[in-house]
Homo-oligomer: A and B are copies of this chain.
Amino acid sequence: MAAETAGPKPGTAAWWLAREDEPARQRRRRSLTLEAILDASMTLLDTGGAAALTMRNLAEALGCTQASLYRHVRNREELVTLLVDRALDVASSAPPEDADWAGKAAWSARLFREHLLRHPGVASLLRGTERLGPNSLAGVQYSLELFIGAGLGPRLASAASSALATFVIGSVHFNLGLDVSDSEESRHRRLLYRSRDASALPLLVEHADVLSEVGSDDVFEAGLTALLTGFRVLIEREGGTRD
């Protein structure tokens, strides 16, 4: 494993660690900044989607050459890693004080989801793996507060927190591909279900109308409620003592 030659893979703990040990890479006069690169990336992403985030577009937007970008970033992958963590800075508004832990968790999950849906370009870069950048860690801390506060031990609290994040990100991906806005798709889906072989797929044929109307919001809310209910039951049942 000569992985050391090129340094650790972007996004890994080793990479984040190595990153802060470096003496700030740039004391350049006023030339290109990493900040400026990330800003421009975000704009590209929000404007033209993930496909628009190319090194060429980025260089053009910044008025520099492609090669200059590699002075601040080793890889496109590294760029994406930094970008995604930055885009996770969403904890600006705090949940209602009078809610219990589950209410707060639900509130935060919805906020997170809406944020991602507002930035589909970012969401499509999210592989669900980025959990170690500063913004992600702040989210983990908050999540742990809720679950540990509710009575779970740290191990279960951590698993629960990750499971919740996994579900939120997964359902945003689900959303992105579904084109909810397109009412034609719902109509076609009904036609598709209806025309299946009723002996092989009886429930699809029978409930074609209902099935074609179930949207990603319904899926998200159903899953979110179930997850939190499940955790609540776990807490009541075991009191978190098992950890």
Residue ranges of A at the interface with B (Cβ–Cβ < 8 Å): 8, 11-14, 16-17, 127-130, 132, 137-138, 140-141, 144-145, 148, 154-156, 158-160, 162-164, 166-167, 169-171, 173-174, 176-179, 184-185, 188-189, 191-192, 195-196, 200-204, 206-207, 210-211, 213-214, 218-223, 225-231, 233-234
Contact = CB atoms under 8 A, between A and B. Distances in A.
9 contacts: A13-B189, A14-B185, A17-B195, A127-B176, A132-B189, A140-B204, A163-B226, A166-B223, A229-B229
B13 A148 contact: no
Q: Which 4 A-B pairs have the closest CB atoms?
A: A129-B177, A170-B170, A226-B230, A163-B223
Given A154-B203, A170-B169, A177 B128 contact: yes
A167 to B, nearest CB: 5
Contact of A177 (B127, B192, B202, B203): B127
A8 B189 CA distance: 13
Contacts of A163: 167, 171, 219-220, 222-223, 226
B160 A222 contact: yes
A132 B220 CA distance: 19
Given A169-B173, A233-B233, 7 more contacts: A13-B185, A128-B173, A128-B174, A141-B200, A154-B203, A154-B210, A159-B214
Contacts of A12: 179, 185, 188
Contacts of A192: 13, 16-17, 132
Given A12-B185, A17-B192, A219 B137 contact: no
B229 A234 contact: yes
Contacts of A11: 177
Contacts of A202: 141
B211 A158 contact: yes
B219 A223 contact: no
A140 B193 CA distance: 11
A219 B162 contact: yes
Given A171-B166, A222-B163, A203 B145 contact: yes
